[in-house]
Structure 1
Amino acid sequence: MESVLKIRRWVLVDGRSIRSVARQTGLLRNTIKKYLKDDSPPSYHRQAPPTRHKLCNGFDARLQTLFEQDQKRPRRERRTAQKLYEQLVSEGYTGSYSPVQRFIRDLKRAGTGSGEAFIPLYFPAGDALQFDWSEERVVLGGVEQKIKLAHFRMCYSRKPFVVAYHGEAQEMVLDAFVQALSFFGGVPRRVIIDNPKTMVTYVSRSKDRIFHPRFLALMNHYVMEPVACTPASGWEKGQVENQVQFLRGRLFVPKPAFDDLDALNDWLFLRCEDLAGRPHPERQDCTIAQMFEDDRAKLRPLGRAFDGYVEKTVRVRSTCLVQYDSNRYSVPSQFAGQHVSLRAYANRIVVVSGQDIIAEHKRHFTRNISYFEPWHYVPLLDRKPGALRNGAPFVGWQLPQAMHRIREHYTNEHNSSSICPFSQPD
């Protein structure tokens, strides 16, 4: 622009000839004449669209077919451009990923039009952690089922952490935060969340929040400020919202298969570490793991872990069972008819009387099933020895040798009138 202004000034103001200006600048006289006629700034106009590598040998049609097939699937099962590229490679495609990515982008734009506009957010190192839930489908023990995935994301470094549960109950929320903070190795200043009932019990018209007391206990333990988003404003925690979609396409399409939930979580832990090796979306010269070192330096020390249980008072039935979440768990027989405290953790059930733990079970997520510890019922055999024959707590129990002799005694119909082996001699 400065050269054009100088040329116009030399000719139109100073009166110099076009030939002398062309000799001094090295420009063609026709070019100088064009500058003199048009006072608008010069610009470059592309004569033809740029030449890019294209899908060939019919792979463009194949890719469009795959894309259209995906559009008929549930949204959570649709493949990403990366997955579609891998499918084409398995079918013989030898090109790069970029043409596939552009092709899929154009197809999406043609179907949806322009998107919404948002204001970019900024978070300093160690400042904020975002949290959200998603629902995914996996195969556990050969059975396809739904699981709930707790998503965490450090806002500055973008480092992710996910852990799977059978549900979104409050004890799962508490356990997820304990595991996430342990994974990150420190505590950020605040956490940005939605408004689920497990964390926020009330939202007023003025957007004031009343947080759940148990969730506040977690926040107080780690001295972390909870920040609840405005309802229906997911962009306020857009990073973790995007993470849900990204990890769904990367990790859960096709459905992964594991023996149990623990094996799935072990795999997710390793994948979170692997994903931290990706380039940072804003600092392409650094990886997420490298940016996380800045985060880690600003995190506060973790301290002891929060005891993440939900407690309720229950009455022990005459069958020595307490109920939680439609299943029943046994306690020692001497507590039958008493009120005890039941503490539900994400993976276990603990029963407390006073200050003493009287029973502990692995938590199950079946329905209407009783889970027994046979030793809880052994004292009752003194008064009801025949229960050893058909008693539900003793089914499949690996009995000590003495118990085997007693069971054989009561399963022998010919000895049904014999003296009780538990009776005391006169």
Structure 2
Amino acid sequence: METIAKIRRAHLVQGKKIKEICRELKVSRKVVRKVLRSDETSFSYERSVQPMPKLGAWTPELDRMLATNQARPSRERLTLIRLFEDLRGLGYEGGYDAVRRYARGWQREQASVTASAFVPLSFDPGEAYQFDWSHEVVLINGTTMQVKVAHVRLCHSRMMFVRAYPRESQEMVFDAHDRAFAFFRGACTRGIYDNMKTAVDAIYVGRDRAYNRRFLQMCGHYLVDPVACTPASGWEKGQVENQVGLVRERFFTPRLRVKSYEELNAWLLDRTIAFAKAHRHPELRDRTVWEAFEAERGSLVPYRGHFDGFHGVQAAVSKTCLVRFDSNRYSVTASAVGRPVEIRAYADRIEIRQEGRIVGEHTRGFGREQTIYDPWHYVPVLAKKPGALRNGAPFKDWVLPAGLERVRRKLGASPDGGRQMVDILTAVLSDGLPAVEAACLEALGEGVHSADVILNILARAREPARPITIMTPDALRLRHEPVADCARYDNLRRAL
């Protein structure tokens, strides 16, 4: 995944030729041409050898043990052999040499840190941006809630982008990047992050990281080279860290009162632009932040278009046509029962697919133990169980188009009104909702509302229109008009 991203950046951003890319990355021309011609950001293949060292998954625990041991008095500190034995007791199956090498590197890294001393950083236009999250408290529709705010900051112009979300999950990260790059009209060649779990799967010695596959795919799409900071070293992305405090003080104090996330994010975008136009750049004192941003836009990597930023999981469909995701349940069409589906979770919606086709799509719910229905998913079931229309949970408070709603109210007084309504609803699956709605309005206009009449109207609408005139071919036209001769009839009578 990293090699694909490097190849795309080298060719599309830096303008390098295929031969030069092959020499630098030590890959064949066939591989480079395949990446550039397909415009894909990932390729699937099976690995025959797993290169991940056994210590890789245990480095966070070893870091904690080393830090705890370092904080003890010198007489109470454990030897590396003791630390290795404790790690083995927790389930580590690797050897002592790997632990010893990692510990030596960790000690050198700790010794090289200079406390309370920092180096000022300078960035070229379009070189880098920084990303981070913050937690803020707002009042949404009368309820006090803690929202997660995504911060993106261009390091050269200091232009910022801020957007609020209910979660910090991966699909929210993708959505924040896409909206930020669309607003900036481009991306930088390098992105600076902390070691958030939605981006980094494992932390190795130094700058080496095992990035999440989907996160790398997003970076490859936008031609961004991701860089993760040293753990617990927030000063490496100090600009966005300062932005968190600035936004909290100027935008979220006093506590905001809004009706929805849409209103909150629209307000944040307006305030961000107003702030950039009103404040001077800290280094380019003759320009505002907005003016510096307008000048930097020409150096950004052009916006590559929307990235399909979803978080995909497999799920089973219950016999009640429901799938479970994130502590909530969502309905799917009845034909999907009995086979697994793929749930694609986006920042604002849930898309459920089965064998490549969409079997359910809903606005995403962020509560707990909610059941979100689409009543049309259950209409095929009503054909066999029409009695479920009266008390079925998906049909409670079902808002139908005006014509269908009037027919349903009129059929409510009939003994078999429920079955007739089911026949009308079932017709929507084959004829479409606009056609059935038009047939209902036509029947009501004639003063009737039975299902037989409405279905008859639909059947007549499906018939091909009759030709207005019949054209006679020239070969069948009469050349001599027949002349009436009654004498011929009299001659026939005489013969009898």
Same structural fold, with TM-score higher than 0.5 when normalized by the shorter chain: yes
**Counterpart in the other structure of 1:179:** 179
Are 1:150 and 1:163, in contact at CA under 8 Å, matched by a contact in 2? Answer: yes
- In the alignment, the residues of structure 2 paired with residue 229 and residue 419 of structure 1 have an alpha-carbon distance, to the nearest angstrom, of 64
Given that residues 164 and 265 in structure 2 are in contact (C-alpha distance below 8 angstroms), is that contact kept between their aligned partners in structure 1?
yes
Task: Specify the code of the residue in structure 1 equivalent to 2:169.
Answer: A
Name the aligned partner's letter for residue 220 of structure 1. G
For residue 408 of structure 1, report the CA deviation from its aligned partner: 5.2
Letter in 2 for 1:128: A
Distance 1:236 1:225 in 2: 16
- 3-state SS of the aligned residue for 2:283? coil
The within-5 A match list for 1:118-267 is 118-267=118-267
Question: Cα deviation per residue 1:236-257 (whole Å; 9 max; x = unaligned)?
Answer: 0000000000110001111111
Share of identical aligned residues, percent?
A: 46
Are 1:283 and 2:247 counterparts? no
Residues 207-247 of structure 1, C-alpha deviations (whole Å, 9 max, x = no match): 42000000001001111100000001100000000000011
> Structure 2: how far apart are the matches of 1:206 and 1:407?
72
Q: CA deviation at 1:406?
A: 5.6
SS of structure 2 residue aligned to 1:198 = coil
1:104-123 Cα offsets, whole Å, 9 max, x none, are xxxxxxxxxxx944211111
The aligned residue for residue 364 of structure 1 is 365
> Against the structure 1 CA distance between its residues 304 and 408, is the aligned structure 2 distance closer, same or farther, given a 3 Å change threshold?
farther
**Contact 2:126–2:188 (CA under 8 A) maintained in structure 1:** yes
1:301/1:420 CA distance change after superposition, 3 Å:
closer
- Name the SS for the 1:282 alignment partner: coil
Instruction: Give the match for residue 63 of structure 1.
Output: none
- Alpha-carbon deviations, 1:158-197, whole Å to 9, x = none? 0010010001000000110001101111121110001011
Output aligned runs, 1:16-415, within 5 Å. Answer: 116-277=116-277, 278-399=279-400, 400=404, 401-404=406-409
Matched residue, 2:56? none
d(CA) in 2 for partners of 1:320, 1:408: 30
Contact 1:131–1:193, Cα closer than 8 Å, also in 2:
yes
Question: What letter corresponds to residue 298 of structure 2 in structure 1?
Answer: A
Task: Give every structure 1 segment of 4 or more consecutive aligned residues whose post-TM-superposition deviation is greater than 2 Å.
Answer: 398-409, 418-425
Q: Secondary structure at the match of 1:383?
A: coil
Is contact 1:388–1:407 with CA below 8 Å preserved after alignment? no
Tell me whether 276-285 or 213-222 shows the greater mean CA deviation: 276-285
Amino acid paired to 1:186: G
CA offsets per residue over residues 356-406 of structure 1, 9 Å max, x none? 222211111111010111111111112111111111000001242444456
Task: Letter of the 2:288 partner, please give it.
Answer: T
Give the SS at the match of 2:178.
Answer: helix
Letter in 1 for 2:354: S
> Which structure's relative contact order is higher, taking Cα pairs within 8 Å and 6+ residues apart?
1
- How far is 1:157 from its partner? 0.5
TM-aligned CA deviation for residue 407 of structure 1 = 5.3
2:221–2:304 Cα contact (<8 Å) kept = no
Change (3 A) 1:331 1:407: farther
Q: Closer, same or farther in 2 for the Cα pair 1:406/1:387, shift >3 Å?
A: farther
Amino acid at match of 2:382: L
Give the match's secondary structure for 2:173: helix
Matches of 1:420 and 1:164, distance apart in 2: 47
SS at match of 2:187: coil
SS of corresponding position for 1:377:
helix
The DSSP-based 3-state class of the residue aligned with 1:118 is coil
Task: Check the 8 A contact 2:389/2:418 in 1, yes or no.
Answer: no
Q: Which has the higher helix share?
A: 2
Classify 1:116/1:206 alpha carbon distance in 2 versus 1 (closer, same or farther; 3 Å). Answer: closer
Provide the C-alpha distance between the structure 1 equivalents of 2:174 and 2:365, rounded to a whole number of angstroms: 18
Is the alpha carbon distance of 1:419 and 1:298 closer, same or farther for their aligned partners in structure 2, counting shifts above 3 Å?
Answer: closer
Deviation at 1:337, TM superposition (A): 1.8
Q: Is residue 389–residue 407 contact of structure 1 (8 Å, CA) maintained in 2?
A: no
- The DSSP-based 3-state class of the residue aligned with 1:293 is helix
What is the TM-score of this pair, normalised by structure 1? 0.68
For residues 319 and 407 of structure 1, what CA distance do their matches in structure 2 show?
Answer: 26
Letter paired with 1:386: G
Structure 1, gaps ≥5 residues long: 1-114, 410-414
Listed as ranges, the gaps of 5+ residues in structure 2 are: 1-114, 424-450, 453-496
Structure 2: distance between partners of 1:390 and 1:407: 13
1: CA distance between counterparts of 2:166 and 2:419?
Answer: 47
CA distance in 2, matches of 1:263, 1:382: 42
- The one-letter amino acid paired with 2:220 is N
Question: Aligned partners of 2:330, 2:412: CA distance in 1, in Å?
Answer: 24
Tell me if the contact between 1:313 and 1:342 (Cα under 8 Å) persists in the aligned partners. yes
Q: How many angstroms apart in 1 are the aligned matches of 2:342 and 2:418?
A: 40
The TM-score normalised by the length of structure 2 is 0.59
CA RMSD, Structure 1 to Structure 2 (Å)? 2.1
